[in-house]
Amino acid sequence: MTEDVDGELVRLAGVHCAYGAEPVLVDVDLSLSERQFVGVVGPSGSGKTTLLKAIMGTIEPYQGSVKRRRNLQTAYVPQVETVNWSFPITVAECVLMARPGRRVPWASRAERAEVSSVLERLGLDGLAGRHIRELSGGQQQRVFIARALLRGPELLLMDEPTSGVDVRLRHEVLHLLDDLNAAGLAIVLTTHDLNGIAAHLPRLVCLNRTVIGAGRPHDVLTPAVLEQTYGATMEVLEHGGMPVIVDGFHHRHHHDPGARDFSEAGARP
């Protein structure tokens, strides 16, 4: 549904989504505003990807409503793990997909200029003719961000942009997203990485089928919210003014002299 939503980009109210009989999202309320940078965290199967799909409109809620601002341009960056890397496609071909409506196969002069500009902006200049598999991990991620940016989105949705990547690449992606956000792009990303990603974002949503908590990391990353989200005990420390989440069991096991040693007792936690 598209309509004016009082300055917000998207508003979800009481959204329920399901795959068959299996509920995936239950009574989700969420609003996204311009220039926001939001991380969605939660365990596997908590509905993070489904939430992105509900925001995009590729899955319809069976109850509740998703209202989008009129003519809202969204773009989606899938998990790199889901990409078919053996598909015969060059960087330029991949990025140009963002304009699927053109009636002839080749790019117009204006499109070629736009592709060059976005590739240069993302540090991919000179790679337009390369096959996507021939790129480094960071470059591969940026190709799909470039494809999304060519749509001229106001809202960028990214599914696990840093899963399976090393620390350097994670920083690279985060810095890039931070720059894009500073330039006015609203971003919603899902992540499993509480310490490496989530704690660095200005706003977090803890999701486990429904929204457990939403707000600034300091307000949301609390033992109570995390336990409700993940179903496991977690402790929150502070390091350099940033919350650091520690698995409760391991924290007690390694640092608390009074903690019971399950392995010696022959029992499992």
Partner 1 sequence: MIDELLRPFDFQFFVNGLAVATLAGALCGLVGVYVVLKGMSYIGHGLSHAIFGGFAASTLLGVNFVLGAGAWGIASALMINGVTRRRVIGADAAIGVITTASFALGLALVALFGTTSQSFDAALFGSILGVSNGDVALVAAVATATGGLIFLRYRALLFTTFDPEVADASGVRTARIDALLMVALALSILATMQVLGVTLIAATLVIPPTVARMLTNSFARMLALSTAIGASCGFVGMNLSYHLDVQSGPTIVLVGASLFAIVFAATGARGRRRAGGVTARLGAVRAGG
Q: Which residues bind partner 1 (CB under 8 A)?
A: 53, 56-58, 74-76, 78, 83-84, 86-90, 93-94, 96-105, 129, 131, 134, 151
CB of 88 to partner 1, least distance (A): 5
Considering the complex, state which of residue 152 and residue 164 has its C-beta at the smaller distance from partner 1. 152
Give the dihedral of Cα atoms 75, 48, 192, 142; nearest 10 deg.
Answer: -10
Which CB, 94 or 214, lies closer to partner 1?
94
Residue with Cβ nearer partner 1 (54 or 173): 54
With respect to partner 1, which residue has the nearer C-beta, 106 or 184? Answer: 106
User: Residue 167: in which H helix or E strand, if any?
Assistant: helix 167-182
Alpha carbon separation from 30 to 5, 194, 212 (Å, rounded):
12, 20, 11
C-alpha span between 53 and 74 (Å, rounded):
11
Q: Kindly state the smallest distance separating residue 72's Cβ from partner 1, in Å.
A: 12
Residue 52 CA to residue 71 CA, distance in Å, equals 18
Question: Nearest distance from residue 73's CB to partner 1, in Å?
Answer: 10
> Going by C-beta distance under 8 Å and a sequence separation of 6 or more, which residues neighbour residue 147?
75, 77, 94, 95, 97, 98
Min. distance of Cβ 20 from partner 1 in angstroms?
10
